Amino acid sequence: MHPHPVRRERGVIMVIALITLAILMIGAVAAIRSMNVTLSNVGNFGFKRDMTNQAERAMRRAMDALNGAGALTTSSVALNYSATILPTSPEGIPTALLATSTPETIGGFGSSVNAIDLNTAPSGESSTNLARLKIYYVVDRLCLNAGPMDAATCQSASTPTQGGKSADDLKVPPRPLYRITVRVDGPRGAQSFYQATVSN
């Protein structure tokens, strides 16, 4: 009887184990990177939503100013208001808000006191949880000329047909449209623009 020859260990199991370990490590790194991207996207979404919520402050301030300003036939720096259509970018943003990095005077159409600064805490409040935002806004009447409303040169709000015996009984005069544009500057160079069209 011949003895069986001794088989030499060639380390095949070790090679397979190392390849498997490398694949697991690559998968773990990919999973970690995917999780970081997801967390970053969630944070950015929340940050963007907060900027949108804060922009409502300027919208409300502008609408309150319009409601108590009378006829609005002339421009008013104190109200950040232009009685005529402002020049805009191709995206429809008034260039007064695009002119500088910090448009304190809104391109000459507004006042620095109307900028909403969320970088400083009110008296008695903590400064650790500030929004770190600054908000600018401008309002322009969608008319080619200042002065009284002219349906030929102003965009006007549509009004529902009124009842009556004839078409002239309850004729509602046309009302001009006003465009409110808000710019929100946030941390890390974030910047957002918001618009609303209203009539008074």
Does 172 score more than 70 pLDDT? no
pLDDT of residue 164: 55
pLDDT of residue 118: 76
The residue with greater pLDDT, 123 or 72, is 72
pLDDT of residue 10: 62
**Contact status, residue 162 vs residue 156, Cβ threshold 8 Å:** no
Q: Which of 54-58, 128-132, 152-156 has the lowest mean pLDDT?
A: 128-132
pLDDT digits (tens, 9 = 90+) for 44-68: 666 677 777 788 888 888 888 888 7
Return the bridge partners of 134, or none. Answer: 117, 185
Does 142 score more than 60 pLDDT? yes
Report the alpha-carbon distance of residue 146 to residue 74 in Å, rounded.
Answer: 6
pLDDT of residue 135: 87
DSSP result, 98-135:
TSSSS-TTGGGTS-GGG-EE-SSPPTTS-STT----EE
Q: What's the 3-state SS for 130-194?
A: CCCCEEEEEEEECECCCCCCCCCCECEECCCCCCCCCCCCCCCCCEEEEEEEEEEECHHHCEEEE
The residue with greater pLDDT, 128 or 17, is 17
Q: Band of the pLDDT at 125, cuts 50, 70, 90?
A: very low
CB atoms within 10 A of CB 50: 14
Does 4 score more than 70 pLDDT? no
Does 116 score more than 80 pLDDT? yes
Return the bridge partners of 192, or none. Answer: 184
Tell me the whole-structure pTM to 2 decimals.
Answer: 0.67
Average pLDDT, the chain: 77
pLDDT of residue 13: 80
